[in-house]
Structure 1
Amino acid sequence: MVLALIWLVFLLCNSCALVGSLNDEGFALWSFKQSIREDPEGSLNNWNSSDETPCSWNGVTCREEKVVSVSIPKKKLVGFLPSVLGSLSVLRHVNLRNNKFYGSLPVELFNALGLQSLVLYGNSLSGSIPSGIGKLKYLQTLDLSQNLFNGSIPTSLISCKRLKNLDLSQNNFTGSLTAGFGTGLISLEKLDLSFNKLSGLIPGDMGNLSSLQGTVDLSHNLFSGPIPASLGNLPEKVYIDLTYNNLSGAIPQSGALVNRGPTAFIGNPGLCGPPLKNPCSSDTPGVGSPSSFPYLPENYPPQTSDGSNGKSGNDRGLSKSAVIMIVASDIVGICLIGLLFSYCYWRVCACGKSKDEGGGNFEKGTKGRKECLCFRKDESETLSENVEQYDLVPLDMQVTFDLDELLKASAFVLGKSGIGIVYKVVLEDGLTLAVRRLGEGGSQRFKEFQTEVEAIGKLRHPNIVTLRAYYWSVDEKLLIYDYISNGSLATAIHGKAGMVSFTPLSWSVRMRIMKGIAKGLAYLHEFSPKKYVHGDLNPSNILLGQNMEPHISNFGLGRLANIAGGSPTLQSSRMTSEKPQQSAPSEVTTFNPTLTVESCYQAPEALKIVKPSQKWDVYSYGVILLEMISGRLPIIQVGTSEMDFVRWIQLCIEEKKPLADVLDPDLAQDSDKEDEMVAVLKIALACVQNSPERRPSMRHVSDALDRLDTSAD
């Protein structure tokens, strides 16, 4: 017995000697290392007990020899979170995202009262959030998403007045949101509670969260009852996602809830009213009273003191003599207008009709336009409309050139297609533009063209090509865009015939492009004025700027071409695009004549449904992701036959082929980013699901890609 005690004392002394040189904070982190069961990448190999402080250890940041940050993301660490982390007196940031930590959150962690960010998403942590979290008065970011947490969200959380980013999505939280949620978290900028089991009413005070930005995501929960009208008080640019809950009643039509598409409310069978096609009945709460219509005063229609709506019993209409006088006045007025119209017609057209003459790339149809404006047999527009048509119409204040400058400019053909010719145009002052000539015809539909093109011209996003101006005449229609200098994504991925040298895109550049496209599409789908659909997204329609930033082009082009009469082969109302200007052997469909490059980007339901949907764009985007990951053309040669690109990827997965068979060999130098590539592959596969309902929204895709932040590693 005595020998055993001596041996135990020896072991304890030896253990103290091992870490004896470490300060208190180093000892705390050494205990954290002991809680790690697996470290396959050796991320903690330089955590040595012989050091005096832990400030040189991987993932540790110190200030005045005090640990302020522990950041070890995406290192496949397996273990639990020790309570000793809470003893780090000036700890500000903890980032252990995308590892394999399990167990619960230790209560003692919240003894680090200066904690500003706690990022633990993408682990397997479980249990409830301790109420002690309310002690963190300086907490600004709390991200516990993609874990296994359960229980209710603690009421003490509303004590974290400085909280800006709250993401608890994709867990198993239950219960209701506490009252005071909206008045307590007044600094909140991001809120994501999606994919949980939260129930009860949405707090009415959430409309007080005036600092919110982006998307408020309450989707895929069990919230019930009506949508609080106070949500309309949120900033108008905020997108409110309430899909797939148990909400009921009329959708309030106020503030941030106005002009939202149906995609924000689907999955709630009890909801009614615009923008849903399910009309509200008269007994639906909030429907039926004049006050429920925001544009009518409560006392509409006005009533007199006797309740007769302003009509007296003796007021039986106009007298017979009054009616005769009104009719006679109308006849005289019509005659005068007819005489005036005839005079103007002959006066204007006395100058004679000048013949159109060809003259350079853009001059056809513009000769003689300044000499006189005459009605033509194939035009139904009024004189004032003709004046509008024969001028260059700018769509923003940055347009400083006029039509004459455009016609005198040097022009170079960039490409030709069934939708017309695209020119690179260099003005005298050096400004470079891209001008698309839509062709001739379509003179009867100017107003329709004008409405469509001006709506497109209002779109402003860094990842969408900007339409700056347009020109319309009977036989000339021009669209003037910003010129994007680095060609198309199709060329950047696969090269182009005649290229002397081809430099493959690095993974970081591909990630930048993928994120940019996702942001542009999310803007079109959810944040643009009309919740647009592109309808024909492919790499040839994505242009790359000077810093390889992506710009989605040809948006709305198919409809404009239909109106202008310059596109003879458009299918239904879908947008079309130019043929890729590359030598792609996959375009030779010897063995499968129904398989074309264009069809590879079309969602399966496109063959059955006439009207494009946002989920079509999601599918097309997924194919583009797969193309960028693999570096392959969209049609794969398999033996003596050809296979759809998506089907080929799915076949590789079914046959459990190694990842190297799918990834672009040119990405071999980025092997340290393999986890990121796998994550993007999973996102792509979610986008190309056969069922449209199973595909994510572009906003969710964009958020998922943003989390793959290479700069944070």
Structure 2
Amino acid sequence: MAFIDKPLFLLLFLILSSMHFVVSLGLTDAEILLKFKGSLSNASALVSWSDNTNPCTGDVSNWNGVICLKSSVRGLQLEKMGLTGKIDVETLKGLSDLRTLSFMNNGFDGPMPELKKLRSLRAIFLSNNHFSGEIPSDAFEGMCFLKKVHLAENEFTGAIPSSLATLPKLLELRLEGNKFTGKLPNFSESNFESFDVSNNELEGPIPTTLRKMDSKSFSGNKDLCGQPLSHCSAINTTTTISTSSDTSTSNFNTNSDSNGESNSKKPPLASIVGVGIVLAVALAAIVAAAFILLQRRKRTSESIEAPPPPSNHQKKTGSKELDQSQGGSSSEQPLTGGKKAEITKLSFVRNDRERFDLPDLLKASAEILGGGCFGSSYKAALSTGPVMVVKRFKQMNNVGKEEFHEHMRRLGRLRHPNLLPLVAYYYRKEEKLLVTDYIENGSLACHLHGQPSMDWATRLKVAKGVAKGLSYLYRELPSIIAAHGHLKSSNILLNQSYEPLLADYGLVPVINQEDAQELMVAYKSPEYLQLGRITKKTDVWSLGILIVELLTGKFPANFRPQGITTEEHLASWLNAVPQEQWKNQVIDKEISGTKNSECEMLKLLKIGMTCCEGDMEKRLDLKEAVKRINEVKEKDSDEDFYSSYASKGDVKSTTEMSDDFTLS
């Protein structure tokens, strides 16, 4: 090796490394599981795991503890096997169809594995091991499909991770027999089929949403109180969305222990009289304070030049007395109450929604939907009926007030069946609120990577709807370089008929540049990484990645805020698979069996690959991309086309194959 100079040696090293990278992308389920087995100790129970057989044949498992569906590994049920060692999550990431993990009744110890890297999991069973230490608060962040979490009978300490309370589909939570401390997270809804936090060291009030649970679910926590256990001496009962200062209320309860165990004798009469006097004075003070607060609030509201209350007709259809030229509501007019009054006002940009203000949102029943790139989103059910979503932004503090108002009014004028409409907004220098409708059916990401799976016809419908919405944005917002700027599956909502609605669009001009570069999808594009700029074709790249995600069912890790992970870049992965194997290895197994549709699927996949071409010169422009997407049909026009093409054994570029399929 001494005669090889350094540059040549480095070149050879890079070539060998890249060859290893390409080969590693093609690991089979068997190879992944055998690598995972190597991280375990005492794995004698896994003797059937051998490279001489496949783990799955259809729905039948050939390997002990492997759950199979359609020849794919859907779960690992490695229970009561005496296993120890490390649960290698990084290796398990290669099992794209993995949905269930169960390692109950083994000897694993140490901290809980970073299972949030396996975002498609539906069930986690780690009970009866020796796991210990604190679980990070964000340990379950982003696992929107998770339904069952069993961590019972371990040695976990610290607070119960708050991210558990943000899981929208959670049905079973078993945490009994640990050493969890602190208060229970504020679960926004209680749809639990199984819930148990008994025999821990929890304290404080039980959230109202959990008070219908059996008392056995909370037993063994001596400092836990509230229904269905004994009353608390002081309970914080208010949970609101706050944009300026935190508010809380406390109820003072003087009921003594009903069992009377703490007093062996009855208190003397003088003590009872004394306590009665103290209570009477305290009650009088509370009434006086409440009266003073009400008078102050009344004087404050009288100082605001509020518009007259709307009629019943206006409540349903929205106020007609709007400045139609600006698209804003009367709440944008100057207020004589000054800054205090301005805090409570929302600016409406639509005429067809019921009017409400910030206090109405603060009083609404609130549910945290999750924390996205920009901040938290809340579902607010107003007392008058409408359900809204309030999204908080702290990355817009560099934009001026008038500029922000003008841009929001501009977005408010957009009308298209594939756009989630902006309803109202709130401006404060430190943070902004955007208010939209609540779409109950959820995001494309949750449907695409969750259950039930999406069929081919629905995925094609989504692709065409997204293309139409994106085309409309570019017609209406020609001055914005990337009219959407943040296009990804979690920012596409699906209505009841599975028509896609684009969300978080048109924000590039108002997001702080430094935050945009770190968080927004447009700034993950090849042109920004290579040239430091985004272009009119940047959203086309995002559209291409989305189409590949739709067809493969794989999540694009390069859209995560921390940047591109090359090994998981969808386009790189797809290019590394021989094209003649795309039908069997690339197309999502949930749709690959759709009869008489494989040519059209491959046609759309080639369009997607041409859209996310790294070379902008080779990348389609938006108009051509939309045209080609709309030409894709649900059924093949020639069933034998792909078969005859594959039989030629030709190897062509992505662009050439895209052209071939469009000709059909």
Query: What TM-score does the superposition give when structure 1 sets the normalisation length?
Result: 0.39
State which structure, 1 or 2, has the greater radius of gyration over its C-alpha atoms.
1
